[in-house]
Structure 1
Amino acid sequence: MYLKKNEERRLLAGHLWIYSNEVDTVKSPLKMCQAGEQVIVHTSRGKPIAMACVNPQSLICARVYSNLPGEMMSVELIERRIAAALALRETFYNEPYYRLIHGEGDWLPGVIVDRYGDYLVMQINTAGMQAVQDLLIEALVLQLKPAGIFLRNSGAFRALEGLPQEDCLAFGEVPDSTTIVENGVRYNIPLKTGQKTGWFYDHRDNRLALQGFSQGKRVLDAYSYLGGWGLNALKGGAEHVTAVDSSSAAVEGGECNAALNDFADKWTGIKGDVGAVLRNLRDGGEQFDVVVLDPPAFIQRAKDKRKGVEKYRSINALASGLLATGGVLVSCSCSHHLVDAELQRAVLHAGRNRGYGVQLIARGHQGRDHPVNAAIPETEYLKAVFARMLG
């Protein structure tokens, strides 16, 4: 593959993505490449600079996996990447519950692996890594010796790459669910049917921070999934948690996890559209000391940003209307396209519309098991704002 003049600059700075408009298609026609093919990347002057996997169907038409021209994908190469990733996680976590591989952040573009003790759940989101799926599985088995590996190969990213939607057992045996421990809280995680790869480890540190704001408080956990935020609040001494989610399975899972931690009597689960439920609670005169908003990404693509920003503003406005004076709003976003300052403005706008003074008391980002590739801004996506509303 040959790049156009000067298009190697991002790659030399450490970025791993090559866009189709950066390729010299006269010297290297993309239509002649097979999805998943490994190629040597050259500058416009012919200097080899990297190895990449190609997908001519995608806007990101190639992803760099090595800076050594000629180095083909192999079990040994993947093992090195896994070993480096494992060493980082074992530095921070005493128990084997974390994201083991975080795609470009761990230099395995498009590969997600979450570890649940003896079980691994993997998602492959690029054609290049799909082509070496067997090598990935072999390397994981050699490095971690898991009891089982389950593939959650479904979702929008695979569709963009032209890959099939298929969830299946890849190695050994994997139960339908397993129990993990995070921040001193136990969770039963559905490995085969849960959202994404089962659990959202990325907010671990932010959920732990919530414990410090929760003593004696009434807490609303909106978009609660399996109760991650709410159960951390109860661990921190909260008086009661109301958890709201649109999924019946999520609400039931949250209730089961509350019981698993002996908090069933302090937990109320509500199924319904989150916006509608929050309006009903507001209209019924309910108030909370802490409200947590952890919605799905409202901005999936840059062109959707305007509508997405309005959704963040709207839900934060609803949440602020449920806060008692002096209450804390924890507002989160997993949309890369929404930067920290924009989330902060949504929180400020919500508070000021109710006449509150808004104190920013903490900020959070993705956990250390979701490392950011310093050259790829897109790998930094998660943000949380902790704001106190003063009358």
Structure 2
Amino acid sequence: MVSLTVRTNRTGPIRGRHPWVFSGALLNIPEGLAGGTPVALVDEQGNFLAQGYFNSYSQIAVRVWSWDKTEEVTEEFFVRRVEQAFEIRKKYVASKLTDSYRLIHGENDLLPGLIVDKYGSYLSLQFHNPGIEQWREQIVAALVKVVKPKGIYERSDVRDRTRQFVIASEAKQSPSRSANSVSSFDSENKGIAASADANRLPRNDKVNRTGLLYGEVPEKVKILENGYKFWVDIIGGQKTGFFLDQRDKRQALTKYVEGKKVLNCFSYTGGFSVYALGADAKQVVSVDASENALKLAEENVKLNRGRDAINRVSTRTEFILADVKEYLGDLASAPQGKATPPHPPLGKGRGRSYPLLSKEGRGVVAEASPFDIIILDPPAFIKDRHKIKEGLSGYRKINEAALRVLP
């Protein structure tokens, strides 16, 4: 195993279990190290500090995955990591009411750069950098052995991965200039985006990789979260298919919505909408710019009709295809004291009309102050450090627009 020496004044973070080692903390990095190469970190006296894998000739040189000198990086190493993570989730998250959750969360589970989400009997994973990707075969084998899924699908099409691969590629050509790669990439690239529809096609262009890794994965997977059922599009949905990290927030929402009129902005596939309906909200309007996401949101509402509250309330729910910023602006500028149904909103001469994809039942969905609660879960406005000012402005404007709509 390659040993890298850490400067005496930079050993503190490693001893304190920080999972990243920056290039400036190392006395020297030999040329020709491939991403994913196991490395041992030692102090200037040669004492063991930690071990991890070489990330790239960039700001983050090493990602740490063990502070145990005796651990060997074999397939059993990954089996132990998956077992530990799985046991924690089974103890604290999984239940008869929840079968889907984040199984592997990168550094938190001592597998930096790896994300694995469990959707019922299926797994969706992402390799966020070329280093961890070198261990794809061993990781998949460990997941199959421990979790025994019906299928594993790769969704390594995140923007951060593209950034990491550009840095690694530049480093191979000129390691000396790679420390500046992060800023040069961010400034020269305004953002890399792909539609959900585009994501449906397997891609193996060395940077963005999507496709089946094991077993089979259906077009839609039915999951259970806090007793609610959802269809998840692992193959073409956003991220790994569903925003599992919002589970507790969705549950917390249920305390506030009984008898209330709820607007779910950036609703995606209707997670918050389903929870609101299940908690006896008076009405729920879901707004998103993706037609496919809204159609799946409608299916998710129908999927939960066995719940009494949703049976009662689903006659007053709508799914509206619109740009949320424009939609909120039109609602906020509507004449006060008049009935203002959100389809279409009454703007001041804007004349916009938003497609009403579906209206469950006969209920009229809005009044002069149409909503009591607005859910704002926008996509990231700050894609990199050069966009902080612009992003903060965007967050401020959209929150101000929502506040103007509330009574």
- Report matched runs for 1:217-296 at 5 Å: 217-262=260-305, 263=310, 264-284=314-334, 285-296=368-379
Cα separation, 2, equivalents of 1:142 and 1:197: 21
8 A contact 1:40–1:70 mirrored in 2: no
Per the TM alignment, residue 286 of structure 1 is displaced from its structure 2 partner at its CA by 4.8
Aligned pairs for 1:196-211 within 5 A: 196-211=239-254
Unaligned runs of 5+ in 2: 166-205, 335-367
Q: Conserved in 2, the CA contact under 8 Å of 1:255 and 1:267?
A: no
- State the Cα deviation string for residues 263-319 of structure 1 (Å, max 9, x = none): 553321122221011112222355211111111222333443222222221111111
Shift of 1:98: 0.8
Cα offset for 1:148? 0.8
Cα deviation digits, residues 147-176 of structure 1 (max 9, x gap):
111111111121122162110110111111
**Which of 190-199 and 295-304 deviates more?**
295-304
TM-score where L is the length of structure 2: 0.75
Secondary structure, counterpart of 1:242 in structure 2: strand
Q: Which residue of 2 aligns with 1:297?
A: 380
1:315: which partner in 2?
Answer: 398
Which residue type is aligned with residue 54 of structure 1?
A: F
Mapping for residues 63-102 of structure 1, pairs under 5 Å: 63-69=63-69, 71-92=71-92, 93-94=94-95, 95-102=98-105
Q: Show CA shifts across 1:330-389 (max 9, x none).
A: xxxxxxxxxxxxxxxxxxxxxxxxxxxxxxxxxxxxxxxxxxxxxxxxxxxxxxxxxxxx
C-alpha distance in 1, partners of 2:106/2:401? Answer: 35
| Partner residue in 2 for 1:16 | 19
Alignment partners' CA distance in 2, 1:184 and 1:266: 22
Partner of 2:36: 36
Find the counterpart in structure 1 of residue 210 from structure 2. Answer: 167
Structure (1/2) with the larger strand percentage: 1
Which deviates the most, 304-313 or 182-191?
304-313
Question: Structure 1 stretches of 5 or more lacking a match?
Answer: 325-391
Matched-pair contact (CA < 8 Å) for 1:57–1:161: no
Answer whether contact 1:35 1:127 (CA < 8 A) is retained.
yes
> Which of 4, 8, 15 in structure 1 is aligned with 2:7?
4
Q: Is the 8 A contact 2:65 2:110 kept in 1?
A: yes
Partner residue in 2 for 1:365: none
Partners of 1:196 and 1:240 in 2: how far apart? 28
The amino acid across from 2:286 in the alignment is A
**Rg larger in structure:** 2
Q: Does the 8 Å contact 1:251/1:271 carry over to 2?
A: yes
User: Retained in 1: the 8 A contact 2:250–2:272?
Assistant: yes
Q: Relative to structure 1, is the Cα distance of residues 289 and 282 closer, same or farther in structure 2, using a 3 angstrom cutoff?
A: same
Distance between the aligned counterparts of 2:132 and 2:256, measured in 1? Answer: 42
Distance 2:25 2:143 in 1: 34
Tell me the distance in 2 between the aligned counterparts of 1:57 and 1:177.
40
Q: Which amino acid aligns with 2:62?
A: A
Tell me the equivalent position of 2:350. Answer: none
Q: Output the CA distance in 1 between the equivalents of 2:375 and 2:304.
A: 20
Contact (CA 8 Å) 2:286, 2:318: kept in 1 or not? yes
Deviates more, 1:36-45 or 1:101-110: 36-45
The residue that corresponds to 2:183 in the other structure is none
Match of 1:115 in 2: 118
Q: Residue by residue, what CA displacement relative to the aligned partner does 1:214-260 show, whole Å, maximum 9, x if unpaired?
A: 11111000111111111111111011111111222212211221222
- Of 133, 137, 141, 1:130 maps to 133
> Is the Cα–Cα contact under 8 Å of residues 234 and 240 in structure 1 kept in the other structure?
yes
Q: Deviations over 1:104-144 (max 9, x none)?
A: 11111011111111111111112221011110011111101
Q: Match of 1:21, as an amino acid?
A: G
**SS of equivalent residue, structure 2 residue 294:** helix
SS of residue in 1 equivalent to 2:263: strand
- Kindly tell me: are residues 40 and 70 of structure 1, through their superposed partners in 2, closer, same or farther at Cα, counting changes over 3 Å? farther
- 2:246 aligned partner, one-letter code: H
> How far 1:70 sits from its partner (Å)?
5.9
Relative to the length of structure 1, the TM-score reads 0.78
Name the CA distance, whole Å, in 2 between partners of 1:268 and 1:131: 46
Q: Distance in 2 between matches of 1:160 and 1:293?
A: 28
Paired residue for 1:181, among 208, 212, 224?
224
Q: Which amino acid aligns with 1:173?
A: E
Q: Note if contact 1:52-1:65 (Cα within 8 Å) is conserved in structure 2.
A: yes
Partner secondary structure for residue 62 of structure 1:
strand
1:214 and 1:237 in contact (8 A); partners too: yes
Alignment coverage as a number of residue pairs: 321
Deviation at 1:194, TM superposition (A): 0.4
Q: Is the alpha carbon distance of 1:210 and 1:32 closer, same or farther for their aligned partners in structure 2, counting shifts above 3 Å?
A: same
Specify the SS of the correspondent of 1:90.
helix
